[in-house]
Copies of this chain bind each other. A is one copy, B any other.
Amino acid sequence: MGMHEKIADLNQKHKPVDTKTPHVVTMIEAINMALHRAMDADPNVVVLGEDVATNGGVFRATVGLKDRFGHKRVMDTPLAETLIAGISVGMAAQQLRPVAEIQFMGFIYATMEHIVSHAARLRNRTRGRLTCPMVLRAPYGGGIHAPEHHSESTEALFAHIPGIRVVIPSSPTRAYGLLLSAIEDPDPVIFLEPKRIYRMVKQEIYDDGVGLPLDTCYTLRQGEHITLISWGAMVHETLQAADKLHQQGVSAEVIDVATISPLDIDTLVASVQKTGRCVIIQEAARHCGVAAEICAAIQEQAFHSLQAPIARVTGFDTPMPYLQRENVYMNSASDIVDAAIHTLEVA
């Protein structure tokens, strides 16, 4: 999964990369670091989107790239999401590796036709002749008191589409490693960044260009009594909930799904076979969310191990309220604890 091999191809001058010194960084810094690393390693990687070049992105994810790699590889596009997705498909078919930014997930819907009907199908439609190694990055999720449409988590829409990967990091380390792998991946990846935790925690990262696998869930905490499954920003509340449960004598296993499509169902099933109980936590609206799929798949495969119904802690089936009531929408660690206790109480 490393990108070392590719460095040999590099046909432009680049600074030697120090892979030995640890950097203590936030998730947004880790993303920026991964983008630098990927562009350094492969001259085919290009970055495009609204305000990504001169401004370095409204969240600063792409800061420094234009100065380092020039305007030919780091492009401010006109204000047009359909275009951003569509030209990425065209660029990718020409063997570039576009990493496109959609400024907020709430503005991603205009890209759907190109993602569903083209990015996801180009390889299949041409029986491997044309491929689409593009990444569509978008900050997603609520909790930052932003205006309307700036807090969406509609990852389920993309998870349903065959032919794309949908990847969501939940820590600086995973953001760095998963983004590198997403860019290196020969197929299209929707890379959703939980913006609420962009700057929440720092981790020590080595800028070694080593990616993390996209075909696995990440077990963050081992446990015996119950499995807590989550992804994105809610992983943090989930870990807090596991702490609280621990104080109550409950040993909870915590799994970060990370890649919600295709799904590493084996890891999830194995965990529930061990614990017999499960709560799935998603920030998104409940109906037809990704938690439903995970729930359905687990009950299919671990039915006889289940000692209680699988519970879902989800957002409401409403839009994210304007900021004065955002807090009502977001679930807290206590909500997860409550659901877990409830599940544990089932005889």
Cα A92 to Cα B149 in complex, Å, equals 21
Q: Cα distance A291–B301 when bound, in Å? A: 16
By size class, the interface of chain A is 35 or more
- Which residues, 161 to 199 on A, are CB-close (under 8 Å) to B? 161-163
Q: Are A288 and B162 in contact, CB atoms less than 8 angstroms apart?
A: no
Nearest neighbor of A307 in chain B, beta-carbon distance: B303
A109-B117, A154-B116 given; A162·B287 CB < 8 A: yes
A143 within 8 A of B: no
Q: A296-B295, A296-B310, A312-B300 are in contact. Are A289 and B113 (CB under 8 A)?
A: no
A125 on the interface (CB 8 Å rule)?
Answer: yes
Q: Mark A307-336, 1 if CB is under 8 A from B, else 0.
A: 011111000111100000000000000000
| Complex partner residue of A110 from B113, B261, B310, B346, CB under 8 angstroms | B113
Nearest CB in chain B to that of A107: its residue: B113
Q: A24: CB under 8 A from chain B?
A: no
Tell me whether B117 and A106 are in contact (CB under 8 A).
yes
- Binary B-proximity of A100-114 (CB < 8 A = 1, otherwise 0): 000000110110110
Contact indicator B149/A117 (Cβ below 8 Å): yes
Q: Is A11 an interface residue (CB 8 A)?
A: no
Sample of 20 more A-B contacts, CB < 8 Å, known A112-B157, A300-B310: A82-B110, A107-B113, A109-B117, A110-B112, A124-B318, A156-B156, A156-B160, A157-B160, A159-B287, A161-B285, A162-B316, A162-B318, A163-B318, A261-B288, A288-B290, A292-B292, A295-B300, A299-B299, A299-B310, A303-B308
